[in-house]
Structure 1
Amino acid sequence: MADEVRWGIIGTGKIARAFATALKDTPGAVLAAVGSRRMDSALAFGADFALPDRACFGSYEEVANAMDVDIVYIGTPHPMHAENAIMALKGGKAVLCEKPFTMNKREAEQVVALARSKKLFLMEAMWTRYLPAVDEVRRIIASGEIGKPRQVSADFGFTAAVDNDHRLLNPELGGGALLDLGIYPLSIAAYLLGPVASVQAQAEIGATGVDVQTGFVLKHEGGGMSVCSCSIQARTPAELTVSGDLGHVRMNTMFHRAPSISVSLVDGTSRTVPTPYAGNGYAYEAVEAGRCLKEGLLESPRMPLDETLALMGVLDTIREQIGLRYAADAARWADGADI
């Protein structure tokens, strides 16, 4: 593959704009196309990112079928992820799909099966996986400096001052704290302590029927526990701490964009390690996807598809425990021949 990676973006909302901005900080990345359900929205997006009108489309399908696009970034609302990913894969495109990867594990299995059958690259856009701060935490854990890691604690919450029609509270748009925020501590806990063996969850369900606060405790297959929480009603510290028998390492301020990490040991010593954070952070996942494409990989070793499937299964279990249901849970895809 050429050094240049040509990106198509599906969706023109806030997160799609953040990703398009990040492509400016991504070596070798070129924004080649954008698609929206409305042509005026696509043209406005294109104007903001110096895209010619011919590269702006009034449908998602045109991006999926565009000849000059190598990989499609899916930044549409949660319930559209599976449908859009399947559409892009059927168009022969590699896919970087925003979190949550799909609404449930069943949908995720459909998407992964299609990518594997077509031998196309597919990756979940769990951007925290690719941050330098996370790499440094894993390096410290591997060095044995804090001893055997036994516990992760992580929270992610902010106050959402929005009306009930906003996507954060709207069940038709996959609203709720768990899928929007809780997925971050879940994913990074599994990345640091290993596969999840079991989970126990509690939640507060809001007036629209989605969770506004959820807490869950994970037991990991290799030993250790994680205590995680998410909220769209409380501004939490959004920190992450990994503790072992010799000390702990903390991702400071907001762990998903940590400017530094701190190490504290039982002997009383401590230090702070600055960690780089370029642009808005999304460039790191674009770099990883581009690297995988150039090396001919079909999935990223940092976010393997089997792990994406496993974590979607954990989210399904949490939702079952807290009574959180979406329309996608009752929907049925067409039979395998349609895939």
Structure 2
Amino acid sequence: MTGPELTGSKIRWGIFGSGGIARRFAQDMRFSRTGVLAAVASRSSENAQSFAQLFPGTKVFDDYRDLADSDQVDAIYVATPNALHKDHSLIAINAGKAVLCEKPFACNAAEAREVAAAAAAANVFCMEAMWTRFLPIMADLRQRIAAGELGQVAHLEASLGFARTERPGDPITDPALGGGALHDLGCYGMSIAEFLLGPFQLEGGSVERSATGSSRTAAFVLSHAGEGEAALSTISVSHATQMRNMLVLSGSKSRITLEAPFIQAGYGTVSPVRFAEPGAVPGPSLRARLSNSLYGQKAKRMIRAVLPGHAKISAQFHGSGLQFEIDEVGTCLGSGRTVSRVMPPETTISVLETLEKLDGSQASTS
């Protein structure tokens, strides 16, 4: 089955899990055009009850399978720890329910292939919840690239670092639960690079680990062979420190900067790219020194919008931005599609395959 058709009624969502991301998903449901929250199940009945009190009308199930089998639910959002994503997605698929699984979709590519194959065999919709790909500003960037506004795109730079103390049992940092900065955060930059610049190859990277084996900081380079010259993406992630959390897309005509955190960006800045004349020798002029100073950087941000060639991109939205992935599922179900054109399973698998390569090579222990 492909799930319910949109004929005036909304998709009824059940949630596996009651943690922070599950609550954000439920909160953003009020901004969705196609979905409504119907049910929740959690490892702890007490947690599920507390969750339901925050969202009146939500039915509580004591077991994930009971929720999946309920005729009061059309689609399931899997928001449990990473290590459980595969098993919980399969529970939903086996019950014939559409699945939106939080990133990372699985702990490795083999698990992702198993889930994707099960969904295809059952003719059930299944998608990774890479919500950043569905933000309005990302569609805007794709349009600008296609229209040639950036010229020949040469480079994408993305950093994403949120300092987080490592703790056993924490699904974000504990490697036994699928945690670590590489899988928790690296999938964002890699997926967005593919979305904006196309298929990629891993050119190299390095991973710094804690004594427990958790990836604390990682950096890697991807190459994209598109039309014309190849583009490069350099991506860095960390749980060991706070990074700039910005994305910069640079071309031969202009550069676009998404302000922090780029995974939730509602606006950006377009700046012109100016080439030096042949033979010119750049030097540390007074103007350059002032421009690059702290006060100069602040001044540039204030006056960018009025300078020739500079422009501000505004794509603001309500809530956290999870409503756009909710509506992608609703749109797909309404048109009878079992895969999303924006977040297809082959991209999810490709990202996980690359993360595995990074996870198993050039890693050092701090």
Tell me the equivalent position of 2:250: 243
1:16-53 Cα deviation digits (max 9, x unpaired): 1110111111123111111112222211111111135x
Show the 5 A alignment for 1:305-324. Answer: 305-323=345-363
Residue number in structure 1 paired with 2:64: 60
**2: CA distance between counterparts of 1:78 and 1:221?**
32
Q: RMSD between aligned alpha carbons?
A: 1.5
Q: Does 1:232 align with 2:239?
A: yes
Match of 1:293 in 2: 333
Which letter does structure 2 place at the counterpart of 1:11? G
Query: Is the contact made by 1:258 and 1:277 (CA closer than 8 Å) also made in structure 2?
Result: no
1:69-124 Cα shifts (integer Å, max 9, x gaps)? 11100000001000100111001101000000000000000000010011111111
Structure 2 spans left out of the alignment, 5+ residues = 275-307
Q: In terms of mean alpha carbon deviation, does 17-26 or 94-103 score higher? A: 17-26
Q: Distance in 1 between matches of 2:33 and 2:201?
A: 39
Is contact 2:133–2:342 with CA below 8 Å preserved after alignment?
A: yes
Give the counterpart of 1:88 among 87, 92, 109: 92
Conserved in 1, the CA contact under 8 Å of 2:269 and 2:310?
Answer: yes
Note if 1:255 corresponds to 2:255. Answer: no
Report the alpha carbon displacement of residue 162 of structure 1 after superposing the two structures with TM.
4.9
Specify the alignment match of 2:38 in structure 1.
32
Q: In the alignment, is residue 212 of structure 1 matched against residue 219 of structure 2?
A: no
Larger Rg: 2
| 2:126 counterpart of 1:122 | yes
Are the counterparts in 2 of residues 131 and 284 from structure 1 also a CA contact under 8 Å? yes
Instruction: Measure, in 2, the Cα distance between the counterparts of 1:323 and 1:113.
Output: 31
- 2:163 is paired with a residue whose SS is coil
The 8 Å contact of residues 156 and 229 in structure 1, kept in 2 or not, is answered as: yes
- The answer to whether the Cα contact below 8 Å between 1:156 and 1:181 also exists between their aligned partners in 2 is yes
* Corresponding residue for residue 75 of structure 1: 79
Alpha-carbon distance in structure 2 between the residues aligned to 1:176 and 1:10: 22
Structure-2 residue corresponding to 1:169: 173
Helix, strand or coil: the match of 2:356?
Answer: helix
Q: Which moved more, 1:160-169 or 1:142-151?
A: 160-169
The equivalent residue for 2:26 is 20
What is the one-letter code of the residue matched to 1:51?
G
**1:158 aligns with one of 147, 156, 162:** 162
Provide the residue aligned with 1:328 in structure 2.
Answer: none
Does structure 1 conserve the Cα–Cα contact (< 8 Å) formed by 2:34 and 2:326?
no
Match of 2:314 among 274, 281, 284: 274
Residue identity over aligned pairs, in percent, reads: 36
Tell me, in whole angstroms, the C-alpha distance in 2 between the residues paired with 1:322 and 1:78: 24
Q: Please list every run of at least 4 consecutive aligned residues from structure 1 whose deviation after the TM superposition is greater than 3 angstroms.
A: 161-165
2-structure distance, mates of 1:158, 1:39: 30
In the alignment, the residues of structure 2 paired with residue 101 and residue 218 of structure 1 have an alpha-carbon distance, to the nearest angstrom, of 21
Shift of 1:266: 2.6
**CA 1:121–1:165 in 2, change beyond 3 Å: closer, same or farther?**
closer
**2:187 corresponds to which letter in structure 1?**
I
1:6 paired residue among 9, 12, 33: 12
Deviation at 1:309, TM superposition (A): 1.4
> Per-residue deviation at 1:322?
4.1
The alpha carbon displacement at 1:169 in A equals 2.5
Q: Match of 2:343, as an amino acid?
A: M
Is 1:182 the counterpart of 2:193? The answer is: no
SS at match of 1:12: coil
Following superposition, the deviation at residue 274 of structure 1 comes to 1.4
Structure 1: segments with no counterpart, 5+ residues: 325-339
Structure 1 window deviating more from structure 2 (121-130 vs 39-48): it is 39-48
Give TM-score, length-normalised by structure 2.
Answer: 0.85
**C-alpha separation between the residues in 2 aligned to 1:228 and 1:108?**
23
Which stretch shows the higher mean deviation, 9-18 or 166-175?
166-175
2:294 match: none
Aligned to 1:221: 225
Report the TM-score, using the length of structure 1 for normalisation. Answer: 0.91
